[in-house]
Amino acid sequence: MRVKICGITNIEDAKCAVSCGADALGFVFAESPREVLPTTVRDITRELPPMVQKIGVFVDTDTQTINDICEFCNLDWVQLHGSKAPKISKELKRPIIIGIRLKDSGSIADLDKYGECFLLVDSYHPQKMGGTGKVADWNLAAKVASVKPIILAGGLNPENVLEAISKVKPYAVDVSSGVETYPGKKDPDLIEKFLNKVKEF
């Protein structure tokens, strides 16, 4: 089971996540308490081992900006949120993860439009694209996971991640607020507990 720690804003949190066994780190380039500047991310990625996947998170950003940031920050993957995601995914130079928010069964009615992109399945919030701390609908998530490999996000923490994995059977799990002291600052103890729980599966 692979683990992505999202909302990394500083080198200390990045190194902690890597030392605890995280497979991927997410950097948010959208309006959020966890938003980071490309210069900060470049400084962080220079310190990371090559096997750790570095993922840029964008919300309805134009393709040129995304490609430029990926080159500048040496990112491996692009994670897209927003209505433009399926369309612009074809114009990007990195492998793509598309975030979908599970409001109801209509949210998963047309999975074919995402093509070969990985799907990150998250909880629904009317104003926010992610990082809400709200648990996703695991029944709907499991339906998606039965036909496509998914990354499960949405309100995961050390207490519920094992149950989530057991019910949904995702390819990977994604955590942000569930391992934080406050938005944008990770808690080393919670990161370690989360990774240790996942390793129990």
CA distance 33 to 129: 12
CA distance 162 to 166: 6
Buried b (16+ CB within 10 A) or exposed e, 70-96: beebebbbbbbbeeebbebbeebebeb
Burial label for 130, CB within 10 Å (0-12, 13-18, 19+), is buried
- β 53-59/77-81 pair status: parallel
How many C-beta atoms surround the C-beta of residue 120 within 10 A? Answer: 27
- Residue 53 near residue 76 (C-beta atoms within 8 A): yes
Active site (catalytic) residues: 6, 122
What single-letter DSSP state applies at residue 50? T
Question: How far is it between the farthest Cα atoms of the chain?
Answer: 42
